[in-house]
Structure formats: structure tokens, C-alpha cells
Chains A and B, each alone.
Chain A
């Protein structure tokens, strides 16, 4: 009990006179804040990108592509294939009509507003079932395109990010002029980075005949994925891969988000090591400034343990302040920050918002605490071992 009282007393004393040593302490705080800021900012790119990609995918929608195709862009299916998929078991039917959308996915160059340079923007030809195979897609401005006409509806994110996509405007790709007639929202998912038109119009423009690249299928239930997959695998007329849409988008997101993590975590570890050096420096300075105070306490009968604990508490507290400041700064500066990047997996632009998630912030704070503990431990040992007589003589 006595030891606990002592610890409390020395720690309180130490914390209360912290402001007197603010100069040196500030260095430790800023160091830790920089680590957490950079960590949260870099990893929020991966988190935001994943959120955009994964929220597009649903468990009860399947995507059918040519066997071996890793992305829609690489796939190709003929009209016969589409008919087989339409009539396959497991496909949800609205009356007699299967809920499917055969889709063609191409890339067009449009100027990115932020850079003024061309970017690969996905242009998707969709079937009449496009809004039924996806949940949460709705027209938020203008109207739906009319079938058979050169009309586009554009994703909300695409409209903000790329030039010349205002409703009522015209945009030219190659020799074809398109009218932008509407804007659609899709819960902030990757679909909002796309432009949509009637698949038949796009087939004609691109001289693709009747071929498409994927068929999206609304399943009777998430469990029907297996029914559909088995039926198509056993059908000798067709060679396709069937995956849930969620699974497909997760695999599309993986290379980029993994890359950010592969860079981001070691970056954080390195910066944290740098911050530990900074914290050690500040804490050694703090211990040497408090030398006389510590020696006096020891002479009065306080044990080494309270001195040790109070020093560790001081450094942890500083690190925590730094961590909170860094995390708050990251949140204010980067959360919701909208960018678009080239997703190598689909060779087209994905518009997404940085997401400084609670998970990232708590990971950042844990890193800050570790820096504080490590940075305080060795100086604390020195403080506890301070030779009392010698330190007092220096008075």
C-alpha cells in the first residue's frame, strides 16, 4: 500500500511539473504525432480503397466471366454463353424473366480534373437488369439512358473527378458523340467511378457483335452460388468462372491495398524507431534535469520503484498526447479526402475517399503507447539507479 501511495505521489509531482520541461517534451510529442499522422494517413488510403471496392460487391449477386479471366477487361463471352447463363439454375427470376445483366466493360480516356491529363475511365455497357442485379444504385440527377441511343449515365464520383460529364453535356470518344443524360449513385462504391450506357449501343460502337465480357446474375439466395457454379461447370457447352460479386471485388482490391500495406507498415515501424530515439533523448534530458529532485525524494525515503514508474508514466503520457494529436490531425486533414487512382487489376480509375477508421486510429495510439513505454523505460532505469549522495552533492 505504501509503495502505491509513493508511486501516486511521485507521479503526480512529476506530471504537475511537466510544463516546466515543455521544450524538450515537445520534441517527443511532435515525434510521436508525426508517426501516428503518417501511419493513419497512408493506411487510410488502403482502408478507403477497400471500402469502395468491397461495398460494391454483394453476396447474392454472381459474376460470370470466361474461365481464367482475372478481370472483366480480360474476359469475353458470346451470346450463346449469355443464353446458357440466363437459363441456369439458381438465377433469380422476376416472373419468367431471369434477373441478369450482360455487360461490356471498356476503358475510355477522359481528362482528370485534378491533373488535367487523360485517365482511363471505365465505360460499362449494361443490360436492362443492371439496376436489379445491384442493390442501392439509383439515378440522383437527370434520367436513365434510353435503350438504343448514344446516351450515358455517369457515376457520382466520376462526375466530380473527371471533366465534361455534366448532365445535358456532350462528350466525344473517338468518332462517337455521347449525351450525358443522368447521374447515378451507388452507396459510394466503385460503380460510381463508372459511366454506363446500353450494352447494345456499346457493342455496336466497339464492333463487338453480340459478345459481352461478364454476366451479372441475381441469385435466388447467397447459397445458390454453388448451384449455379456447379451447373455451369458441368455444362460442356460453356467454360466460365462463377464468383460472388463480393469475392470478385475483394480480389480486385487486393493488389493495391496490399501494396499500400506492404509500404505503410514498415514505414510506420521505421518512423516509430526514429521516434523512440527522439523520446529516449527527451526522457534522458528530463531525468537529468530532475536529478536533484529525484535525489531529494530518495533521501526523504522514497523507493526506486516510484521514481521508475513516474518516469515511464511521464513518457507514456507525452506519447499519448502526441498520438492523439497525430490521429486527430490525420482525421481532420485526410478523412474523406477524395482521390482517384489507376487500379492495376482493372486497368481503370477508381475514385475513392481516404478513410481514417477507428481501427487505424486505435492502432496508431497503440504504436504511440509502445513508443512511450520503450522511450521511457531506459531513462526510468537510470533515474531509479541514480546514486543519491552524488546527485545531492551536485546541488
Chain B
């Protein structure tokens, strides 16, 4: 630390070169932040999944509905604390490009199942009591409470053939978990069930909470066995496994991101390593002088290595900061298009590890060269 001043002055010896190197490092870490945030969105909420919650879907596919009569039978299964359901509405607001998720649910039971969702109790009650009431996450199309919202369903016509369903915004919910998405709308299942032209008596899927002390794996098995050999066999999995199975269907987004970042960081190492070796080459006489006045080999090694880490850390932190700002901006402006975009803690820790690792890798060979300098040779060359 006592050499920080020296390291700092050395780093800025050639301002243009150091700035350019820092800027390329900054770009690399900006990309790291953005790509990680996008990859996080594709994890479909695996990180916010609750281990005590199970999801029951039709065994053939999620698109096959399950009878509403299953609700009571699931609730009666030993180890099940509570159960509720949701369905896919597949609607859009005004234009097809304004597609977002809507789920008909049982208002009170749904919010009990998802304690991480926050809503004012008054709003929850007024929603539950309003047949056409609906609640949305914040900032959805700028709606305010009391607005009449027409949503056109691409799947469900009403009994009179009308495909536009009217809702009244009764509340706005948020999530206490910053990583979770709130880019969807919830409305009353009773309204949906009464008005839809077909599919009556079914729901899309069930969500249940395992009772304290019960084994989620055994509960899942008990439910699936109960409906085995019926026309509607079920597949029960933990919320995390359900989310993961969804995420995996997109293909290996994480691998693609890693490959891109691999190319980016490989280039970055070359740029930074080249800068450091140029810088050491120019400074050979100076380093020899340092050694002459009594700096140990170790100190010289440390000074060069610190310089490399310093340049990468400055650029890297700048890039991460910019990336964080960009992700915050994207989350509020493009939340509907890509819900769940988020720069996670582990990603930031990884970035910091990469900063240190890349700093050492880029600087180690020039630093070793500096350490092994023989004073006589080096001064002679000067």
C-alpha cells in the first residue's frame, strides 16, 4: 500500500495507452454485466423459486388443462398445507406487440401462496370483491387504479363470441424480492370461468405449499400416483425444477453467454497484457534504478503487478457500474419485453474475481521479467 503513489504515477506514465486499455476493460465488463442480466432473465425465476412450493401440471404438456375438481383432491393429500391454481390467458393490450402475461386466479388464495408479493390489504379486498377487478405490477402501461382495461385474449372468446375482456384495475402489487418479475396481471377466476366459451371446469396448473416437516419429493409422488391412469395424469415438481425445465427449453443461454464472454475476456487479456509488457519494456532503466536504491525483487514484482490490477480494476469497476445503471434502466423501460432482467450478486462477485484474476494474468509475465532484471545489464541498456 505504501507504494500506491508510485504505482499510480507509473500507471499514468503514458496517459493515452492507459486510458485506452482501461476503456477496453470497461467495455468488456459492461458486456459482462448486460449479458449476465439477460441470462438471468432466461433462468425464468429459478433463483426466486420457493423450495416449499410445488407446481402440478398435466403430464402430457403444460398446455393441457387440469380439471378444477383436482383442487380438493390435492388439498386432501397428506403433506399439502394449501393449494391454489392459475391459468394462461394469452392476451394483449390494444396491439399484439403489447403482449404480456395475465392469469385468472383465486385472489386471496393466490396472495397467500406468494407471500413475497405485496399489496395493500384494502386493494386486495376491493379486487376480490369486484368481479371484473384486476391487479398488475407497477408501471404496467401507466394504468392507475379505477382504469377500465380492455384485454384481447388470443385464446379465450367469451360465450357471446367477444374476444375482448374488460377489466377494472383494483390494485397494484409489488414484490419484496427485487429479482422477481411483476410484469403480469392477475384477475378473478370466477369471471373467467363464467364468461369463457369453452374449457369450463378446468385450470391451467396448480400451485401448492408443502406442510412444514413434510418431504416435498414424497408429496409430489403422492399427488402424481393419485392421478395415475386417469385421463388427466399429472406431473408435480418443485417450483425451481419447473422454472428450470422452462429455462432449459430455450436452449443453453448460459453457455452462449459464456462463449461470448470467453471471446471478450480473451481479447481483453491480450490487450492488457500487451500494455503491461510495453510499459515494463520502456521502464527497464527505471526499474533498475529502483533496485539499485534498495527495492527488493519482491517489491518490484508487487509494484508491476499492482499496476496491472489497478488498471483492470478501474476499467472493470467503471464497466460494472455502467452495466448496473443500464440494467436498472432496461428493467424499468423494457420490463414487459424481457421480465426478470437483473444483475445478480453472484454475477458481481464473479466479475470482481475476474478483475483480480485478469489483473494478475496480464501483469504476471512482465512483473516476473521486472523482478528478474539484473541491475547491471538493465542500466547498461539505459
Question: A38-B260, A284-B17 given as contacts; is B28 within 8 A of A274 (CB)?
Answer: yes
Contact A275 B154 (CB under 8 A): no
Compute how far the CA of A174 lies from the CA of B23 in the bound complex, rounded to whole angstroms: 57
Per-position binary interface string of chain A over residues 252-277, scored 1 when its CB falls under 8 Å from any chain B CB and 0 otherwise? 00000000000100010011011101
Residues of A within 8 A of B163 (CB): 67-68
Per-position binary interface string of chain A over residues 44-64, scored 1 when its CB falls under 8 Å from any chain B CB and 0 otherwise? 000000000000000000000
Contact B20 A76 (CB under 8 A): no
CB interface residues, A 1-54, toward B, < 8 Å: 23-24, 26-27, 30-31, 34, 37-38, 41-42
Contact B267 A278 (CB under 8 A): yes
With both chains docked as a complex, state the minimum distance between the C-beta of B356 and any C-beta of chain A, in angstroms.
Answer: 20
Contact B31 A270 (CB under 8 A): yes
Residues of A within 8 A of B31 (CB): 267, 270-271, 274
A280 interface hit (Cβ, 8 Å): yes
Residues of B within 8 A of A115 (CB): 248, 252
Q: Which residue of A lies closest to B252 (CB)?
A: A115
With both chains docked as a complex, state the minimum distance between the C-beta of A274 and any C-beta of chain B, in angstroms.
Answer: 4
Residues of B within 8 A of A271 (CB): 27, 31, 264
Contact B264 A281 (CB under 8 A): no
Contact B271 A31 (CB under 8 A): yes
Question: A271-B27, A273-B27, A347-B63 given as contacts; is B263 within 8 A of A281 (CB)?
Answer: no
Compute how far the CA of A41 lies from the CA of B264 in the bound complex, rounded to whole angstroms: 13
Question: A174-B60, A278-B267 given as contacts; is B90 within 8 A of A341 (CB)?
Answer: no
> Which residue among A37, A109, A206 has the maximum number of chain B CB atoms within 10 Å of its CB?
A109
With both chains docked as a complex, state the minimum distance between the C-beta of B35 and any C-beta of chain A, in angstroms.
Answer: 8
Contact of B278 among A106, A120, A285 (CB under 8 A): A285
B96 interface hit (Cβ, 8 Å): yes
Contact B264 A175 (CB under 8 A): no
Residues of B within 8 A of A38 (CB): 260, 263-264
With both chains docked as a complex, state the minimum distance between the C-beta of A380 and any C-beta of chain B, in angstroms.
Answer: 14
Residues of A within 8 A of B264 (CB): 34, 38, 271, 274
Residues of A within 8 A of B349 (CB): none
> Which residue among B62, B256, B267, B268 has the maximum number of chain A CB atoms within 10 Å of its CB?
B267
A163 interface hit (Cβ, 8 Å): no
Per-position binary interface string of chain A over residues 169-209, scored 1 when its CB falls under 8 Å from any chain B CB and 0 otherwise? 00001110000000000000000000000000000001100
Question: A30-B270, A76-B198, A107-B63 given as contacts; is B260 within 8 A of A339 (CB)?
Answer: no
Contact of A109 among B61, B154, B266, B278 (CB under 8 A): B61
Compute how far the CA of A24 lies from the CA of B21 in the bound complex, rounded to whole angstroms: 13
Contact B96 A270 (CB under 8 A): no
Contact B270 A267 (CB under 8 A): no
Residues of B within 8 A of A374 (CB): none
Per-position binary interface string of chain B over residues 216-260, scored 1 when its CB falls under 8 Å from any chain A CB and 0 otherwise? 000000000000010101000000000011101111100010011
Q: Which residue of A lies closest to B273 (CB)?
A: A27
Q: Which residue of A lies closest to B26 (CB)?
A: A274
Contact of B27 among A23, A70, A277 (CB under 8 A): A277
Contact A281 B155 (CB under 8 A): no
Residues of A within 8 A of B188 (CB): none
Contact B27 A24 (CB under 8 A): no
CB interface residues, A 141-176, toward B, < 8 Å: 173-175
CB interface residues, B 33-66, toward A, < 8 Å: 34-35, 38, 59-64
Residues of B within 8 A of A275 (CB): 24, 267
Contact B267 A277 (CB under 8 A): no
B274 interface hit (Cβ, 8 Å): yes
Contact B251 A339 (CB under 8 A): yes
Contact of B61 among A30, A107, A112, A282 (CB under 8 A): A107
Contact B27 A270 (CB under 8 A): yes
Residues of A within 8 A of B23 (CB): 273-274, 277
Contact B62 A120 (CB under 8 A): yes
B16 interface hit (Cβ, 8 Å): yes
Contact B154 A69 (CB under 8 A): yes
With both chains docked as a complex, state the minimum distance between the C-beta of B279 and any C-beta of chain A, in angstroms.
Answer: 11
With both chains docked as a complex, state the minimum distance between the C-beta of A359 and any C-beta of chain B, in angstroms.
Answer: 21
With both chains docked as a complex, state the minimum distance between the C-beta of A372 and any C-beta of chain B, in angstroms.
Answer: 15
Contact of B263 among A37, A66, A284 (CB under 8 A): A37
Residues of A within 8 A of B182 (CB): none
Per-position binary interface string of chain A over residues 69-96, scored 1 when its CB falls under 8 Å from any chain B CB and 0 otherwise? 1110110100000000000000000000
Per-position binary interface string of chain A over residues 311-354, scored 1 when its CB falls under 8 Å from any chain B CB and 0 otherwise? 00000000000000000000000000001111000010100000
Q: Which residue of A lies closest to B155 (CB)?
A: A74
Residues of A within 8 A of B256 (CB): 42
Compute how far the CA of A30 lies from the CA of B275 in the bound complex, rounded to whole angstroms: 15
CB interface residues, B 245-301, toward A, < 8 Å: 245-246, 248-252, 256, 259-260, 263-264, 266-268, 270-271, 274-275, 278
A391 interface hit (Cβ, 8 Å): no
Question: A31-B270, A342-B250 given as contacts; is B260 within 8 A of A267 (CB)?
Answer: yes
Contact B248 A117 (CB under 8 A): yes
Contact of A74 among B27, B154, B268 (CB under 8 A): B154
Compute how far the CA of A106 lies from the CA of B58 in the bound complex, rounded to whole angstroms: 13
A-B contact pairs, 10 of them (CB 8 A): A30-B267, A38-B264, A74-B90, A107-B61, A112-B248, A115-B248, A270-B34, A278-B271, A281-B20, A341-B249
Given contacts A34-B266, A37-B263, A42-B256, 4 further A-B contacts (CB under 8 A): A70-B96, A119-B248, A119-B249, A175-B229
User: Which 3 pairs from chain A and chain B are nearest by CB?
Assistant: A274-B27, A342-B249, A277-B24
Q: What is the interface of chain A, defined by CB distance below 8 A to chain B?
A: 23-24, 26-27, 30-31, 34, 37-38, 41-42, 66-71, 73-74, 76, 106-109, 112, 115, 117-120, 173-175, 206-207, 239, 263, 267, 270-271, 273-275, 277-278, 280-282, 284-285, 339-342, 347, 349
Q: What is the interface of chain B, defined by CB distance below 8 A to chain A?
A: 16-17, 20-21, 23-24, 27-28, 30-31, 34-35, 38, 59-64, 90, 96, 152, 154-155, 157, 161, 163, 198, 229, 231, 233, 244-246, 248-252, 256, 259-260, 263-264, 266-268, 270-271, 274-275, 278
